[in-house]
Amino acid sequence: MLEYFEIHPDVQEAMRESIPVVVMESTIWAQGLPTKEAINALMECCHIIREEDALPVLVALSGGKIRVGIRMDEFSEMLDRGKVQKVNLRDIPTCIQRHGDGTTTVSATVFIAHSLGLPVVATGGIGGVHRNADKTFDVSADLHTLANYPIAVVASGVKSILNIGATLEMMETLGIPVIAYGTDLFPSFYCRTSQFPAPERMDDLEEIAGVVRIRNRLGMKSGVLIANPIPKDYSLSENLMDEVVEKSLLEATDLGITGKGVTPYLLERIHEMTGGATVKANIALIKENSRIGAKLSRMVYY
Ligand code: PSU
Ligand code: MN
């Protein structure tokens, strides 16, 4: 298995010495944000994680390898080359075979983190059930992966372009514990709130770490979703977000955009329609999730 991995020496050391690690997915940097902002924000996230005494570990694919702890300059060059594939769980082997450049989604990242025994992943928002999934069957592999790999994922809820209620139902079906950190309502990415009550609320990270440890000890195979709401100052209005999401969804349907292409298209349009407010919000929430991921990783290391 390890022949397909290239693991940065710092990560190897962390694995040997049980130094807490926060694994970071890479798709959000390649498609959710303009490249320059993305690299700057990524560096800030790494800084935040180090300040919390954990090691930031960015995951991507290139040259026929899974790069665990890819260096910032290499990642930046990869984005500049411009031919980066969005790699879901199922795309890992084909991307390796082709020696392609790939950024990993939550599903691919969770699988990779689990392969190396690294228990915490931080991201922006996870994928889930799409609003028109009754017709398209578009349900993110992120859910399948969270159901099957015991990783704690810190995210600001699910992507706002999704059907949040259906996604919460699906996570219950799949046996994925969902804990909102310090809030009663399940957060909806760009907004601190949604219409949906969070399945569980916990205000103390130690308590959340306790849940992570308990489900490990019980041998449950599912992960845990820690839903950490966007910081107050950056939270956008639910009505505004609903409006722009619906509008961009209609456009995407008209243009015949389907599958993996949907999210990147919607994100770009939403960023345009909100005059960049969602870019700022996106960066703010990823930074906060990095911080919480780092704190949590110090607590759950086993
Ligand atoms: N949220 C964002 N931007 C993104 C994603 C989430 O604001 O780019 C990415 C994450 O990598 C997530 C993936 O894992 O979208 C899910 O994609 P899909 O719905 O195709 O499974
Ligand atoms: Mn999809």
- Give me the domains of the chain, ranges plus CATH numbers: 2-300 (3.40.1790.10)
d(C-alpha 297, C-alpha 160), whole Å:
26
d(C-alpha 98, C-alpha 1), whole Å:
17
d(C-alpha 294, C-alpha 296), whole Å:
5
Q: What type of residue is 211?
A: V
Q: What is the distance in A from the centroid of ligand 1 to the CA of 167? A: 14
d(C-alpha 198, C-alpha 63), whole Å:
42
Instruction: Pick the catalytic residue from 159, 260, 287, 295.
Output: 159
Nearest CA to ligand 1 atom 18: 140
Q: Which of 130, 113, 129, 111 is nearest to 68 (CA)?
A: 113
74 catalytic per annotation: no
Nearest CA to ligand 1 atom 10: 105
User: What distance lies between CA 177 and its chain's CA centroid?
Assistant: 16
Q: Give pLDDT, residue 302.
A: 57
159 catalytic per annotation: yes
Half-sphere exposure of 240 (CA within 13 A, CB side): 12
Nearest CA to ligand 1 atom 8: 28
Q: What is the distance in A from the centroid of ligand 1 to the CA of 53? A: 27
Q: What is the distance in A from the centroid of ligand 2 to the CA of 216? A: 29
Beta strands in the chain (DSSP E): 5-7, 21-24, 55-62, 65-68, 85-87, 102-104, 120-122, 152-155, 178-181, 201-202, 224-227
d(C-alpha 266, C-alpha 255), whole Å:
12
How many Cβ atoms from other residues are within 10 Å of residue 272's Cβ? 13
d(C-alpha 70, C-alpha 58), whole Å:
6
Q: Which ligand is nearest to the CA of 159?
A: 1
Instruction: Pick the catalytic residue from 25, 52, 86, 260.
Output: 25
d(C-alpha 157, C-alpha 152), whole Å:
13
Q: What is the distance in A from the centroid of ligand 1 to the CA of 63? A: 23
Q: What is the distance in A from the centroid of ligand 2 to the CA of 132? A: 11
d(C-alpha 56, C-alpha 42), whole Å:
10
CB-CB contact of 224 with 179 (8 Å) = yes
CB within 6 Å of ligand 1 — which residues? 25, 27-28, 31-32, 88, 105-106, 124-127, 140-142, 159, 260, 263, 267, 282
pTM, two decimal places:
0.96
Q: Which atom of ligand 1 is nearest to the CA of 106?
A: 14
d(C-alpha 233, C-alpha 66), whole Å:
37
| Spatial CB neighbours of 272, under 8 Å, sequence gap ≥ 6 | none
pLDDT in tens, the chain (302 residues): 789 999 999 999 999 999 999 999 999 999 878 889 999 999 999 999 999 999 999 999 999 999 999 999 999 999 999 999 999 999 999 999 999 999 999 999 999 999 999 999 999 999 999 988 999 899 999 999 999 999 999 999 998 889 999 999 999 999 999 999 999 999 999 999 999 999 999 999 999 999 999 999 999 999 999 999 999 999 999 999 999 999 999 999 999 998 888 888 998 999 999 999 999 999 999 999 999 999 999 999 75
Beta strands in 190-284 (DSSP E): 201-202, 224-227
Tokens 């798709």 sit on residue: 27
- Residue 169 in tokens: 């139902």
d(C-alpha 158, C-alpha 213), whole Å:
23
- Residue 223 in tokens: 């992960």
CB-CB contact of 199 with 178 (8 Å) = yes
